[in-house]
């Protein structure tokens, strides 16, 4: 009820009048308006949820190892007692807070006897679709609070049709949940909204709580909240209350919860944020996985994520004059640019903000902004502006839908398909053991196979002696020599998985050890960061 009244007041101020404000409506009309708003809100969430469920079911491709290895694999180990923990968990730089919801999901499936291969694959992304729908819902509410309902509709259109949000938002990455919590928190921050309200103190506590949760999910989220927190500190009149009675207690509560949770899971006291900071920032440990030029986010990373929305977002930034949010985008991109290791997903939380500006720009095609920033209805509403809008919408759909579907359904799907196939084969007890002769973490693992069978992949734990190549790199340098040496001490697996690019030099080796090709899965049309990995090949031991 509080939020509905808030939104109505803001919308009224945006339209330049107060006659629709709840304070000026008769009691019966107010009840009717409140009911209509409630129904409209529910319909909006159902729409977002239906879209994200369909989005989750369409995801068939592999994007980033962390989706499986830092979330589902850990949750599977918590629930079923087996699953691989990567080196990050041995060094205490990951919190169990993010895998916990998926562990609860797996436990529920196990209790109900529904932990079948299909549901083990689909259920986590369906759970993530609920989180994503909440993020979309609060994204709409934030846009409405800042610009009004009409702009909010176009902002939501931008969010739902952007190819990267479609491709990434429903994946079980910590960045996805971080983005959801960021959107919820931004909605409640008084310094972000159009004007403070009498509910500011209540909403600020909620904002702080959500911000603290996002930091628990991913410590680098603190970059965002340092900026927003300073804005609030400078604009608030009750600064001491904000620091000592709100920020400190709420932050300590969430930090204490995750500290105790990690103590229970690790078996010893581990302060994850400090370990994370030491490895990724102070020692530049993330550089082990590759580095980019300082300007990569501005020239390649974030621009690729925005894609054809770029001109609309830039136009919206200039015409809306919401410099606080513009500053947040630049701040986050700038701080992340200082770090050597860069990835698209690291800046996912600010992508919706840029798309909100795109929504503002699209709305302006029908109702141009006046000089004072308030929207005025165009005299020629059915003339040039609607045609411009139709062309803009057709352009955005024509560029983003094919891109989103291709990346979600086609590009890099072989590593998912081979594990889905092996999971079905394992149910029939046709799989005894598996060896992955490919770069480390290229496929899902026990969380997809869901059978406690011996599996082996090539290790890539960062070495303190950087001149010594890891096992995965040694294999890629000379596959035949590595495989020949490796086979001297192996327990012969029943199945071997490898990329087509590494299959070529190993064909004679595989044949000499009685392996034959079983299946070949399409993977990609073009290379990403290595040689073209056009397909994933599954070899099976001939005499089994």
Q: In sequence order, what DSSP letters do the residues of 450-493 get, joined into one string?
A: -S---EEE---PPPSSTTS--HHHHHHH-HHHHHHHHTTSPPPP
Is 17 in a helix, a strand, or coil?
Answer: coil
Q: What is the mean pLDDT of residues 114-137?
A: 97
Q: What is the largest CA-CA distance in the chain?
A: 87
Q: Which of 410, 404, 399, 441 is nearest to 525 (CA)?
A: 410
| Whether pTM exceeds 0.85 | yes
406 and 432 co-located in one domain? no
Q: What is the mean pLDDT of residues 44-61?
A: 97
Residue 277 maps to a domain:
yes
Residue 512 maps to a domain:
yes
239 and 339 co-located in one domain? yes
Q: How far apart are CA 316 and CA 327, in angstroms?
A: 14
143 and 223 co-located in one domain? yes
Q: What is the mean pLDDT of residues 178-186?
A: 98
Q: How far apart are CA 460 and CA 438, in angstroms?
A: 11
Q: What percent of the chain has pLDDT over 70?
A: 88
436 - beta bridge partners? 457, 497
Give residue 468's pLDDT: 80
406 and 446 co-located in one domain? no
Give residue 196's pLDDT: 52
158 and 170 co-located in one domain? yes
Distance of alpha carbon 541 from its chain centroid, rounded? 39
In this predicted model, which residue has the larger pLDDT, 33 or 412?
Answer: 412
Burial of 486 (0-12, 13-18, 19+ CB in 10 A): middle
pLDDT single digits (tens) 418-473: 999 999 999 999 999 999 999 999 999 999 999 999 999 999 998 776 678 899 99
446 and 391 co-located in one domain? no
Give residue 11's pLDDT: 40
Q: What is the mean pLDDT of residues 521-535?
A: 88
Is-contact 343 318, C-beta < 8 A? no
Give residue 405's pLDDT: 98
Q: What is the mean pLDDT of residues 129-140?
A: 98
Residue 25 maps to a domain:
no
439 and 486 co-located in one domain? yes
Indicate whether 225 pLDDT > 80.
yes
381 band by pLDDT with thresholds 50, 70 and 90 = very low
The half-sphere exposure of 506 on its side-chain side, counting CA atoms within 13 A, is 32
37 band by pLDDT with thresholds 50, 70 and 90 = low
pLDDT single digits (tens) 322-354: 999 999 999 999 999 999 999 999 999 999 999
Give residue 38's pLDDT: 65
Residue 23 maps to a domain:
no
226 and 240 co-located in one domain? yes
Is-contact 303 310, C-beta < 8 A? yes
Is 190 in a helix, a strand, or coil?
Answer: coil
Give residue 33's pLDDT: 59
DSSP assignment letter at 72 = I
541 - beta bridge partners? 515
Give residue 284's pLDDT: 74
- Structure tokens belonging to residue 202: 């209540």
Give residue 13's pLDDT: 39
Which structural domain, as residue segments, surrounds residue 127? 39-368+386-410
Q: What is the mean pLDDT of residues 166-195?
A: 94
Q: Which of 350, 376, 410 is the last residue of a domain?
A: 410
397 and 437 co-located in one domain? no
253 band by pLDDT with thresholds 50, 70 and 90 = very high
- Structure tokens belonging to residue 283: 């020692």
Q: Give the list of residues 6+ apart from residue 343 with CB closer than 8 angstroms, or none.
A: 64, 301
Residue 11 maps to a domain:
no
* Structural domain count, the chain: 2
Q: Which of 357, 378, 410 is the last residue of a domain?
A: 410
Give residue 452's pLDDT: 97
- Structure tokens belonging to residue 122: 């689909």
Q: Which of 347, 377, 410 is the last residue of a domain?
A: 410
Give residue 64's pLDDT: 95
Give residue 244's pLDDT: 96
Residue 248 maps to a domain:
yes
The half-sphere exposure of 380 on its side-chain side, counting CA atoms within 13 A, is 7
Ramachandran assignment for 171, one of left (phi > 0), alpha (psi -120 to 50 degrees), beta (any other)? beta
Residue 29 maps to a domain:
no
Q: What is the mean pLDDT of residues 7-27?
A: 40
For CA atoms 374, 377, 378, 379, the dihedral sign is negative
Residue 85 maps to a domain:
yes
Give residue 312's pLDDT: 98
Indicate whether 251 pLDDT > 50.
yes
443 and 393 co-located in one domain? no
Q: What percent of the chain has pLDDT over 90?
A: 79
Give residue 107's pLDDT: 98
Q: How far apart are CA 20 and CA 9, in angstroms?
A: 8
Give residue 187's pLDDT: 96
Element (H, E) at 521: strand 515-522
Q: Which of 138, 177, 68 is nearest to 447 (CA)?
A: 68
395 and 439 co-located in one domain? no
Indicate whether 259 pLDDT > 90.
yes
391 and 511 co-located in one domain? no
- Average pLDDT taken over every residue of the chain: 89
The half-sphere exposure of 5 on its side-chain side, counting CA atoms within 13 A, is 12
Q: How far apart are CA 71 and CA 14, in angstroms?
A: 43
């Amino acid at each position: 009820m509080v939020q509905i009244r808030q939104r109505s007041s803001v919308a009224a101020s945006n339209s330049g009048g107060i006659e629709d404000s709840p304070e000026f409506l008769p009691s019966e009309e107010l009840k009717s308006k409140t009911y209509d708003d409630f129904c409209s809100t529910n319909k909006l969430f159902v729409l977002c949820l239906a879209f994200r469920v369909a989005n989750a079911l369409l995801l068939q491709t592999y994007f980033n190892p962390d989706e499986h290895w830092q979330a589902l694999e850990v949750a599977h180990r918590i629930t079923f007692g087996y699953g691989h923990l990567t080196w990050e968990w041995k060094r205490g730089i990951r919190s169990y807070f993010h895998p916990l919801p998926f562990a609860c999901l797996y436990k529920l499936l196990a209790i109900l006897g529904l932990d079948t291969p299909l549901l083990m694959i689909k259920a986590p992304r369906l759970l993530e679709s609920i989180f994503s729908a909440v993020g979309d819902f609060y994204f709409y509410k934030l846009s409405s609070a800042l610009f009004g309902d009409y702009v909010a509709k176009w902002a939501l259109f931008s969010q739902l049709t952007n190819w990267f949000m479609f491709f990434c938002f429903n994946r079980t990455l910590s960045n996805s949940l971080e983005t959801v919590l960021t959107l919820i928190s931004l909605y409640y921050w008084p310094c972000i909204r159009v004007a403070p309200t009498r509910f500011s103190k209540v909403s600020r506590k909620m904002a702080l709580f959500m911000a603290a949760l996002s930091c628990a999910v991913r410590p680098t989220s603190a970059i965002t909240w340092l900026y927003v927190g300073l804005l609030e500190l400078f604009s608030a009149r009750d600064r001491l209350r904000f620091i000592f009675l709100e920020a400190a207690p709420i932050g300590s509560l969430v930090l204490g919860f995750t500290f105790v949770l990690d103590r229970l899971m690790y078996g010893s006291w581990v302060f994850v944020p400090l370990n994370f900071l030491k490895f990724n920032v102070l020692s530049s440990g993330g550089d082990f996985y590759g580095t980019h030029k300082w300007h990569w986010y501005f020239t390649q990373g974030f621009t690729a994520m925005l894609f054809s929305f770029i001109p609309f977002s830039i136009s919206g930034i200039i015409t809306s004059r919401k410099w606080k949010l513009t500053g947040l985008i630049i701040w986050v991109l700038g701080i992340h640019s200082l770090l050597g290791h860069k990835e698209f997903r690291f800046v996912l939380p600010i992508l919706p903000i840029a798309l909100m500006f795109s929504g503002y720009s699209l709305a302006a095609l029908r109702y141009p902004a006046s000089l004072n920033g308030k929207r005025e209805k165009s005299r020629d509403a059915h003339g040039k502006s609607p045609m411009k809008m139709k062309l803009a919408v057709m352009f955005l759909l024509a560029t983003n839908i094919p891109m989103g579907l291709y990346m979600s359904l086609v590009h890099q799907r072989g590593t998912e398909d081979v594990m889905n196939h092996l999971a079905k084969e394992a149910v029939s007890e046709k799989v005894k053991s598996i060896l992955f002769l490919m770069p480390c973490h290229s496929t899902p693992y026990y969380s997809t196979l869901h059978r406690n069978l011996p599996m082996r992949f090539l290790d890539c734990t960062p070495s303190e002696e950087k001149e010594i190549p890891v096992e995965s790199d040694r294999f890629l340098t000379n596959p035949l020599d590595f495989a020949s040496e490796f086979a001297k001490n192996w327990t012969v697996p029943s199945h071997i998985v490898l990329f087509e690019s590494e299959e070529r030099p190993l064909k004679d080796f595989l044949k000499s050890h009685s392996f034959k090709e079983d299946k070949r899965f399409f993977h990609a049309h073009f290379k990403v960061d290595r040689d073209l990995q056009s397909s994933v090949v599954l070899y099976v031991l001939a005499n089994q």
